[in-house]
Chains A and B, each alone.
Chain A
Amino acid sequence: MSFSISLTINGEKRAIALDDPRVTLLDLLRERLHLTGAKKGCDRGQCGACTVLVDGRRINSCLTLAASLDGADITTVEGLANGDDLHPVQAAFIAHDGLQCGYCTPGQIMSAVGLIAEGHAGDDPERVRELMSGNICRCGAYKGITEAVLDAQKTLKDGKRRDAA
């Protein structure tokens, strides 16, 4: 069974031929579109390394069938920076040492982007930790991650205020 779906990936609309409906969004991104930013940690929804945004919402791409997303808008970590200009969340992860080996980092960053857009954490580190609990870090960089999320959220908020003014 082969069919075609359409996805907008990091702003670019693409027609994608699928020869097999079993392909997950994560495998599609990594194996077929060579966007290897999203990582495969567990492939079972348990680690968050595969986190991407679908229509602006963070989800686990390993537990999503690509075929069922026909028409969706996908953002991966490759789509965040503007050339050499890092996204505020990326910059904050560097500034706060929110990583060590880096394997979980693309998932952490996409999850943080999603968390900030959802807007339920406020400036409470407790809420940030709870809402980031779907991203496991084997290196234990959690302290820096929490600081980075809070800092990036502030930067984005201040930026918006400046834009509005």
Chain B
Amino acid sequence: MNRFEYVRPASVQEAVTAASQPGSVYLAAGTNLLDLMKLGAARPERVIDITRLPGLGEIDWRPDGSVRIGAMVRNSDLAYDERFARTFPVVAEALLSGASAQLRNAATVGGNLMQQTRCAYFQDVASACNRRAPGSGCDAREGENRLHAVLGWSESCIATHPSDFCVPLVALDAVTEVAGPNGMRDVAIDALHALPGETPERETALQPGELITALKLPSDAAAFADHARYLKVRERTSFAFAVVSAAAALRIDGGKIQSARLALGGVAAKPWRARDAEAVLENAPPTQEAFAKAAELALSEARPSGKNAFKIELARRLIVRALSLSTEGTPEAMPALPASPFATVPSANHAR
């Protein structure tokens, strides 16, 4: 780890001022940042500790049913908050499928949204990586790329965004509240993470010094509580990043889908909202035919970036399963193995 200056600001304003200097980075729980610093993939000159900033630790419900979640709320505290889990079960399921109990206890809302790709070449400073070192090339193009992107990638970078949390958030139109040198603004989750294009080093829409202060979920997102699932295919039963994941949320009435939300994880450099698929589901009966059509549309622009063509078919099948299980209904209790595509009943055994 390189040497750095450790700064502990007392207010959001002080934090933003400190972080506006070049070479600065925010430190929340550090579960992603410290890892990258140990590897040398992140080499900040100044580390701005935001863990003690006042006012970032609350979950506030508004009279209209929307919620504002402070950026320092820990992943496990949010997932186990009773009202939150009841209102947005698909978000709670995604959170509980991520990382391990220890990491969720530490990881913050802001840090989860802003975590960086798990591309092994990004983490390995001996490798060429346009995202870490612009213009150096991309060793993943001809390397170990089974888990890389199938949507929205470019010749410059084929990395994926690893967050589970972000997948239902983008489906439910969540918005971040951001404090910066020029005041406050809102950035939708859909606009937060950038596709690589020619500039994969520009990972998010945040400008230097900008701090996520909160995450907001709109009141209409609660309308999906009865039919919503997050499913995640992993290479082992638990404690693994998504190979592919899907968040599905439906509003069903009178035998018809009144509205649908669908997003994919593990397929692109951002959580991937499948709006065309949502459109064909609306007003359709919740049948396997309708789900298959939606899955086809969601992946219509997908193409392999390497040895990962299997992810396209896997994503289609996962979409069908996520929509089928959502139609069956959100489980009464959180499944023992959250987001498992195999456990169809809450008590199903591991990897049966």
Contacts and interface: CB of A to CB of B under 8 A. Distances in A.
A124 B31 contact: no
A3 B35 CA distance: 23
Interface in A104-137: 111, 114-115, 118, 120, 124, 126-127, 129-135
A99 interface: no
Given A1-B5, A22-B1, A134-B99, A126 B35 contact: no
B30 A64 contact: yes
A39 interface: no
A132 to B, nearest CB: 8
B34 A65 contact: yes
Contact of A60 (B5, B38, B80, B106): B106
B195 interface: no
Interface in A40-79: 43-45, 48, 51, 57-60, 63-65, 67-68
B70 to A, nearest CB: 17
Interface string B315-352: 00000000000000000000011100000000111100
Interface string B151-168: 000000000000000000
A114 B4 contact: no
A92 B269 CA distance: 45
What DSSP secondary structure best describes chain A's contact surface?
A: mixed
Nearest to B1: A22
Nearest to B240: A133
A59 B102 contact: yes
Interface string B120-151: 00000000000000000000000000000000
Interface string B1-43: 1011110100000000000000000010111001100100000
B103 A21 contact: no
30 contacts: A3-B6, A21-B5, A22-B3, A45-B31, A45-B99, A48-B100, A59-B105, A60-B31, A63-B29, A63-B34, A63-B35, A63-B106, A65-B6, A65-B30, A65-B49, A68-B30, A68-B51, A111-B101, A118-B76, A126-B337, A126-B348, A127-B336, A129-B238, A130-B336, A131-B101, A132-B101, A133-B100, A133-B101, A134-B100, A135-B100
What DSSP secondary structure best describes chain B's contact surface?
A: loop
Nearest to B348: A126
B158 to A, nearest CB: 23
A24 interface: yes
Contacts, number: 102
A95 to B, nearest CB: 23
Contacts of A129: 238, 350
Contacts of A132: 101
Interface in B32-87: 34-35, 38, 47, 49, 51, 76, 80
Contacts of B27: 65, 68
A51 B336 contact: no
B233 to A, nearest CB: 16
B264 to A, nearest CB: 24
A1 B6 contact: yes
Contacts of B8: 67-68
A130 B337 contact: yes
Q: Which 8 A-B pairs have the closest CB atoms?
A: A134-B100, A21-B6, A133-B238, A126-B336, A133-B239, A59-B106, A57-B105, A63-B31
Scoring B29, B31, B336, B337 by chain A CB atoms within 10 A of each residue's CB, the highest score goes to B336
B101 A126 contact: no
Contacts of B237: 133
Nearest to A50: B102
Nearest to B340: A130
Contacts of B106: 57, 59-60, 63-64
A98 B303 CA distance: 47
A58 B27 CA distance: 19
A126 B350 contact: yes
Contacts of A124: 336, 347
A63 B39 CA distance: 12
A54 B292 CA distance: 47
B351 to A, nearest CB: 10
A120 B80 contact: yes
A67 B49 contact: yes
Given A63-B35, A68-B27, A134 B103 contact: yes
Contacts of B103: 45, 59-60, 63, 134
B310 to A, nearest CB: 25
Contact of B102 (A20, A44, A48): A48
Given A63-B31, A111-B102, 7 more contacts: A45-B100, A45-B103, A60-B102, A67-B8, A115-B101, A126-B349, A134-B239
Interface in B101-126: 101-103, 105-106
A44 B239 contact: no
